[in-house]
Amino acid sequence: MIAQKISCISVLLIVFILGSIRQATAQVEFPIGYVSRGGTYAFISLIEQHKLLEQEGIRPTFVYIGGPQVSQALISGDIRMAIVAAASPIRAAAHGADLRFVGGVTDKEVASFVAASSIKTPAELKGTRLAIDRLGDYSDFRARKVLEMFGLQAQKDVTLLQIGAQTARFAALRNGHVQSTFVVPPLTLVARKAGLRELADLGELGFPSSSGAFVVMQSSVEKNPKEIYGVLRAFVKAIRLYKADKEQALGAISRFMGLNDREALEETWRMNAKVLKDIPSPPLAGIRVVRDFLAQTDPEVKKMNLESFITSQFTDRLQRESVK
């Protein structure tokens, strides 16, 4: 009798172990590349912490790949999805890559337009200098569009100066070489503490963004729809947690950005949480804005049918099924 019990227990243990092995080996490889360590992307840390991809049967592999190389990594098959600003995949698609935008973490810009304390309204920018990264790049395009929203014309009412990266632009503003620029959190907090004036929060202004778009190959849409849907389900759960649980979000931002200052963490969370989408549908307006910018210098981009590279089938399903 005792032997029989031991035998039954042994069988149950073997079944349990084999089941666990099957569950582990059933996880699908689906490496995901991302291009920024900014607060908008910090939901990735929550996915890892709470094993949200594992719950979808996917082995979590996030790879940091800066710049346009992420699109090349996607095309070559080194990664299966890219979390990326729209410019690189739009260029690649216009020149023959069969890419698809399947979602995006936000469709509003996470940045502030700040000016010297003496400038109290956008109208007072007339006759001043605005610092951008580089003439002819997207920072130039964005500056012109924002000035248009203020009823001002670049290089006529406001001079655009090519200064470089955010730290250089901020220093130029502090020392009076320019009178305005764009900053992202947590430098927005530093700007306020320095007495600079926020003339516009671009998220509240409704300025379109595609800075965290989700891009895959069309072959993945056809062959791996279950995995894409599972990844987006995990993203939805992480974004929901990011927005609803401030303390967990601050921890995620701290780990992801290597940031420890409480005020800086809260500033980063505040500016991102209000623009992250509950259902991360493709950021259509932001993608179109970037396409219009690229089309000014690339005839292939100008000719492309942008809508054919966007699919909402996965986020539409997420919306219908109200992910728990």
How far is it, in rounded angstroms, from Cα 265 to Cα 262? 5
Residues 271 and 110 sit within 8 Å (Cβ to Cβ): yes
In a domain, 283, yes or no: yes
The length of the chain is 324
Q: Give the CA diameter of the chain.
A: 96
Q: Are residues 138 and 213 in the same domain?
A: no
Q: What is the pLDDT of residues 40-55, one digit of tens each?
A: 999 999 999 999 999 9
In a domain, 5, yes or no: no
Q: Are residues 103 and 215 in the same domain?
A: yes
Cα dist from 315 to 25, 29, 310, 318, whole Å:
28, 21, 12, 5
Residue 124: CB atoms within 10 Å:
15
Q: Are residues 101 and 116 in the same domain?
A: no
Tell me, rounded to whole angstroms, the distance of Cα 268 from its chain centroid: 14
Cα dist from 2 to 5, 16, 201, 298, whole Å:
5, 21, 73, 79
Q: What is the CATH number of the domain that holds 200?
A: 3.40.190.10
Residues 93 and 305 sit within 8 Å (Cβ to Cβ): no
pTM to 2 decimal places: 0.87
- Per the structure, how many domains does the chain have? 2
What sign results for the dihedral spanned by CA atoms 148, 153, 159, 161? positive
* Tens-binned pLDDT, residue by residue, of the chain (324 aa): 444 544 544 444 444 444 444 444 578 999 999 999 999 999 999 999 999 999 999 998 999 997 789 999 999 999 999 999 999 999 999 999 999 999 999 999 999 999 999 999 999 999 999 999 999 888 999 999 999 999 999 999 999 999 999 999 999 999 999 999 999 999 999 999 999 999 999 999 999 999 899 999 999 999 999 999 999 999 999 999 999 999 999 999 999 999 999 999 999 999 999 999 999 999 999 999 999 999 999 999 999 999 999 999 999 999 998 766
Domain range for 139 is: 112-205
Q: Are residues 177 and 267 in the same domain?
A: no
Cis check: omega of the bond before 225, within 30 degrees of 0? no
Cα dist from 231 to 53, 227, 250, whole Å:
6, 6, 23
Residues 167 and 150 sit within 8 Å (Cβ to Cβ): no
Q: Are residues 54 and 186 in the same domain?
A: no
| Residue in 212, 177, 194 with CA at minimum distance from that of residue 114 | 194
Last residue of a domain, one of 205, 221, 244: 205
Q: Are residues 213 and 313 in the same domain?
A: yes
Residues 71 and 89 sit within 8 Å (Cβ to Cβ): yes
The strand pair at 112-115 and 99-104 is best described as unpaired
Q: Are residues 73 and 145 in the same domain?
A: no
In a domain, 1, yes or no: no
Q: Are residues 191 and 127 in the same domain?
A: yes
